[in-house]
Amino acid sequence: MRKLLSQILAIAMKDLRSVAKERTFLMAIGLQLFVAMFASVLTFGLLVLYNPSYAGVGGEAKVGFVGDAPILESVLKPVKYDSIQRGMEDFKSGKIDALVWLPKENVNSTNFVRVYLPKEEIKAIQASIFLKEKFVEYEKRLREMRGIPSELELKIYSTDLESINVPEGASVPFKLIYVVLVPLLMLTTAATVAGMFIDLVTEEVESKTALVLLASPLTPTGIITGKIIAAILLSLALTPTWMVLLILNGVEMHNPLLVALLAIATSAMFICVACIAILTGDRERAQLVFSLAVIAMVPLFFSSPLSPAGLITRIAAGSPFEAYAVIAYLLSLVALYPSALVAARVLKAER
Measured CA to CA, the distance from residue 241 to residue 346 in angstroms comes to 33
**Percentage with pLDDT > 70 across the chain:** 79
3-state SS class at 90: helix
Question: For residue 34, which of 46, 24, 44, 42 has the smallest C-alpha distance?
Answer: 42
Q: What pLDDT score was predicted for residue 145?
A: 84
Which residues make Cβ contacts (< 8 Å) with residue 323, sequence separation at least 6?
A: none
- Reply yes or no on whether the pLDDT at 121 is more than 50: yes
Measured CA to CA, the distance from residue 273 to residue 193 in angstroms comes to 12
Q: What pLDDT score was predicted for residue 232?
A: 92
Q: What pLDDT score was predicted for residue 15?
A: 75
Compare 289 and 25 and report the one with higher pLDDT: 289
Measured CA to CA, the distance from residue 315 to residue 330 in angstroms comes to 14
Q: Which of 169-173, 202-206, 215-219, 339-343 has the highest mean pLDDT?
A: 339-343
Q: Express each pLDDT in 259-271 by its tens digit.
A: 999 999 999 999 9
3-state SS class at 57: coil
Mean per-residue pLDDT over the chain, rounded: 81
Contact between 196 and 231 under an 8 Å Cβ cutoff? The reply is: yes
Q: Where are the domains of the chain?
A: 2-46+168-348, 63-157
Q: Name 98's bridge partners.
A: 63
* Confidence label for 1 from pLDDT (cuts 50, 70 and 90): low
Q: Express each pLDDT in 122-144 by its tens digit.
A: 678 778 878 888 898 898 888 88
* Confidence label for 247 from pLDDT (cuts 50, 70 and 90): confident
What DSSP assignment string belongs to 292-326?
HHHHHHHHHHTSSTTSHHHHHHHHHHT----HHHH
Calculate the CA dihedral of residues 9, 12, 13, 17 and round it to 10 degrees. Answer: 170
Q: What is the CB neighbour count within 10 angstroms for residue 125?
A: 18
Contact between 226 and 343 under an 8 Å Cβ cutoff? The reply is: no
Contact between 334 and 212 under an 8 Å Cβ cutoff? The reply is: no
Measured CA to CA, the distance from residue 347 to residue 340 in angstroms comes to 11
Q: Taking the alpha carbons of 179, 180, 181, 186 in that order, is the dihedral positive or negative?
A: positive
Q: What pLDDT score was predicted for residue 169?
A: 47
Q: What are phi and psi of 58, to 5 degrees?
A: 165, -145
Q: Identify the architecture of domain 63-157 in CATH.
A: 3-Layer(aba) Sandwich (3.40)
Q: What is the CB neighbour count within 10 angstroms for residue 223?
A: 24
Measured CA to CA, the distance from residue 5 to residue 60 in angstroms comes to 71
Q: Taking the alpha carbons of 115, 121, 122, 123 in that order, is the dihedral positive or negative?
A: negative
Instruction: Kindly report which listed range (18-27, 97-106, 308-317) carries the lowest average pLDDT score.
Output: 18-27
Q: Express each pLDDT in 315-337 by its tens digit.
A: 998 888 888 888 999 988 888 98
DSSP 161: S
- Reply yes or no on whether the pLDDT at 31 is more than 60: yes
Q: Express each pLDDT in 169-196 by its tens digit.
A: 445 566 677 888 889 889 999 998 998 8
Compare 320 and 210 and report the one with higher pLDDT: 320
Alpha-carbon distances, residue 153 vs 141, 162, 165 (angstroms): 17, 16, 12
85-116: b (≥16 Cβ within 10 Å) or e: eebbeebeeeebbbbbbbeebeeeeebebeeb
Measured CA to CA, the distance from residue 257 to residue 349 in angstroms comes to 40
